Amino acid sequence: MDSNKYLDDISEIKNMMSRSSRFISLSGISGILAGCYALIGAGFAYLRLKELSSANYAGLSGRSSSLWGNDLIQDLTVIAVSVIVLAVVTGIILTVKKAKKSGEKMWDVSSRRLVLNFLLPLLTGGAFCLVLIQYGIAGLVAPATLLFYGLACINASKYTMRDIRYMGLAFIIIGLISTQFIGYGLYFWALGFGLCHIVYGALMHFKYDRK
Amino acid sequence: MSLIDNINKAFDHRIRLGIMSILMVNDYADFKMLKELLGATDGNLASHTKALEKEEYILVEKQFIGRKPNTRYSATKLGKLQFKKHIDALEKLIGK
């Protein structure tokens, strides 16, 4: 007759263990949308690159990063920043919604820990990429972003759903492969930040969100 | 009956159960973190931590971060062992 109480106890234990150590309200849909933004951004970047290479460097390899003008870098930066801002804002909005629905606090110990551990490798990577640009090694920026993002995901996986670990691994593999194809960074970016996010987001959505 | 014997009275409350669960998976937790997670009032939480401390299931460390007093809790070896037994007993009772 006390069986119900015991069952409640067990579920309370499980709930507290996961809530105190992992932030589990990350929204799957936000992953899909982030991927879509990335693909759209990559599309714009591709058009811009093509336009430029046909206008200025006809006959030359437009892909060679040392030929990139300031104009182009500015445009690409604008595209990249808008994609990131859009993805982060969407992610936060959808995650807040999901956290509210499941009664989890948005900004508690576990989410703080998650954000901190995600940002640490990511910001390191960001700073490193700026250094690469500083020395004119822009060709390595795409692999570096993919690699550091992958490492950030793996580091963050300790504090949220473990599945994000596999996405991190995918990013690292894509990042390493892309080091052998300098100049094709955009395609690898689209593959990683676009496709990987969409696949991961969809998997998470079906695994956790749809009930 | 032996099964019921393993049900530990010290854990027979939602807040105490919560405190132990949190301390099983985290090296330590401070008062604020426990409060946030358990949604308990200061007084309520304090009395439950005191009870667990008395059983020597948790360790309480008082320290200062700057000028702010900060109380840190961690589970003792005994506490972890007893809590594991408690969970096993619960599972067996449900399984029946």
- CATH code given to domain B2-91: 1.10.10.10
User: Would you say B87 and B6 are in contact if contact means Cβ atoms under 8 Å apart?
Assistant: no
User: What distance in Å separates the CA atoms of residue B58 and residue A120, rounded to the nearest whole number?
Assistant: 32
Residue B25 to chain A, least CA–CA distance (Å): 6
Interface pTM, i.e. ipTM: 0.81
pLDDT band at A29 (very low <50, low <70, confident <90, very high): very high
| Segment-wise mean pLDDT, segments of 10 residues, chain B, 96 residues | 69 90 90 88 93 93 87 93 90 79
Query: What is the length of chain B?
Result: 96
Query: What local confidence, expressed as pLDDT, does residue A56 receive?
Result: 58
The burial of A1, by beta-carbon neighbours within 10 Å (0-12 exposed, 13-18 middle, 19 or more buried), is given as exposed
Query: What local confidence, expressed as pLDDT, does residue A153 receive?
Result: 95
CB-defined contacts A:B, below 8 A: 51
At residue B25's C-alpha, the angle toward residues B24 and B31, to 5°, is 80
| CB of A106 less than 8 A from some CB of B | no
Contacts of A9 in chain B (CB under 8 A): 17, 90
Query: What local confidence, expressed as pLDDT, does residue A60 receive?
Result: 46
Q: Determine, for residues B21 and A2 on separate chains, whether the beta-carbon distance falls below 8 Å.
A: no
Query: What local confidence, expressed as pLDDT, does residue B68 receive?
Result: 86
Which has the higher per-residue pLDDT, A154 or A24?
Answer: A154
Query: What local confidence, expressed as pLDDT, does residue A5 receive?
Result: 82
Which has the higher per-residue pLDDT, B95 or A129?
Answer: A129
Using CB atoms, which residue from A6, A13, A14 is nearest to B94? A6
| CB of B29 less than 8 A from some CB of A | yes
Query: What local confidence, expressed as pLDDT, does residue A62 receive?
Result: 44
| CA distances in angstroms from B53 to A16, A20, A149, B15, listed in the order given | 20, 20, 43, 14
Listed in sequence order, the DSSP H helices in B1-96 are 2-6, 14-25, 31-38, 42-54, 77-95
Which has the higher per-residue pLDDT, A31 or A24?
Answer: A31
Q: Determine, for residues A21 and B21 on separate chains, whether the beta-carbon distance falls below 8 Å.
A: no
User: What distance in Å separates the CA atoms of residue A116 and residue A44, rounded to the nearest whole number?
Assistant: 31
| CB of A3 less than 8 A from some CB of B | yes
Query: For A179-199, what is each residue's pLDDT tens digit?
Result: 999 889 899 999 999 999 999
User: Would you say A171 and A147 are in contact if contact means Cβ atoms under 8 Å apart?
Assistant: yes
User: What distance in Å separates the CA atoms of residue A26 and residue A201, rounded to the nearest whole number?
Assistant: 10
Structure tokens at A137: 């090694």
Look at the block and give the residue holding tokens 């936060």.
A92
Best probe of the A interface among B22, B28, B85, B92, by most A CBs < 10 A, is B22
Contacts of A15 in chain B (CB under 8 A): 21
Query: What local confidence, expressed as pLDDT, does residue A75 receive?
Result: 86
Residue of chain B with shortest Cα separation from A109 = B33
Q: Determine, for residues B33 and A9 on separate chains, whether the beta-carbon distance falls below 8 Å.
A: no
| CB of A71 less than 8 A from some CB of B | no
Query: For A65-97, what is each residue's pLDDT tens digit?
Result: 445 567 777 888 899 899 999 999 999 999 888
Domain parsing of chain B, residue ranges = 2-91
Residue A110: its H or E element: helix A109-134
User: Would you say A7 and B94 are in contact if contact means Cβ atoms under 8 Å apart?
Assistant: yes
Using CB atoms, which residue from B14, B33, B94 is nearest to A10? B94
| CB of A4 less than 8 A from some CB of B | no
Which has the higher per-residue pLDDT, A64 or B94?
Answer: B94
